[in-house]
Amino acid sequence: MPHKFGDHAPWSRLMHEERQRMLPAAGVLELLAAAPGSTVVEVGAGIGYITLPLALAVGPAGTVIATDVADEALAHLKARVEAEGLGHVRLVKNEESRLPLDSGVADRALLVDVFHELEDPAALLADVHRVLRPGGSILVVDWDPGWTDAGPPHHERLTRAAAQELLEAAGFGGEPLAFAHPSHWALRGTRPRQR
C-alpha cells in the first residue's frame, strides 16, 4: 500500500522553498487553465499549496472544492482559507476512492503529488470522471520515477505512460504535457463531450 504524506512527514514540508522551486504553483495553474468563475475540484489538496493561488485564479465568482482524506490537512487548510478570507473555497473530506459530490459539477479537476498515494487510482479516476462535466478536464501532476534527488519512494511512483493508460481506461482522452521542472510529469485527461 502506498504511503500517505501525513503519516511520515510534517505538513509544513508542502510549503518548503525547494518544493516551490521544483513545483511552481504558477506552472500548475497555467496547465490547468481554469477560467475565472469556473468550478475546480482539487483532490488531495493537503494544506493548500496550490489551493490558495487557485482560489485567486478562479476568483470569487468561481468555486474551489478542496478535498482530502486526512482530517489534519483539512484543519490546516481551513485555517489558511479563513485567514485569507477565501469564502469560495469549499472543504470536503473524501473517502479513499469516492468523492461525496454530485455528478457533473466541476469544470476542472486537479491532483498534484497525490496520484502516487492512491490505493486504487482506477476507482478514484472513475469518480473524478463522474464529477466532471462533459468537456471538462483533469490535470494530474506527479513525481517522475526518474528523478532521484528528492520525493516519495521510487517504487510507489508511476510513470506518465502508466498514468495515461489509467486515465484512458477511465474514459478520458489523455494528453501528455510539458512541465516546468524535470522532477514532475504532467498529464491532462478530457472527459469527452456528449453528442
Ligand X SMILES: C[S@@+](CC[C@H](N)C(=O)[O-])C[C@H]1O[C@@H](n2cnc3c(N)ncnc32)[C@H](O)[C@@H]1O
Work out which of 107, 117, 127, 142 binds ligand X, going by CB under 6 A. Answer: 117
63 or 128: CB nearest ligand X: 128
96-115: contacts with ligand X (CB under 6 A): 96, 112-114
Contact 5, 120 (CB under 8 A): no
125-164: contacts with ligand X (CB under 6 A): none
Report phi then psi at 4, rounded to 5: -100, 140
C-alpha–C-alpha distance, residues 91 and 180, integer Å: 28
C-alpha–C-alpha distance, residues 60 and 115, integer Å: 28
3 or 168: CB nearest ligand X: 3
C-alpha–C-alpha distance, residues 7 and 70, integer Å: 10
Closest approach of Cβ 186 to ligand X, in Å?
13
46 or 136: CB nearest ligand X: 46
Longest dimension (CA), the chain: 47
- For residue 133, what are the contacts with CB-CB under 8 A and spacing of at least 6? 104, 105, 106, 107, 191
Q: Give residue 136's Cα distance to chain centre.
A: 14
Work out which of 46, 151, 174, 189 binds ligand X, going by CB under 6 A. Answer: 46
Work out which of 50, 64, 138, 139 binds ligand X, going by CB under 6 A. Answer: 50
Closest approach of Cβ 44 to ligand X, in Å?
3
Work out which of 5, 115, 179, 185 binds ligand X, going by CB under 6 A. Answer: 5
| Using rule CB under 6 A, residue 69 touches ligand X | yes
44 or 136: CB nearest ligand X: 44
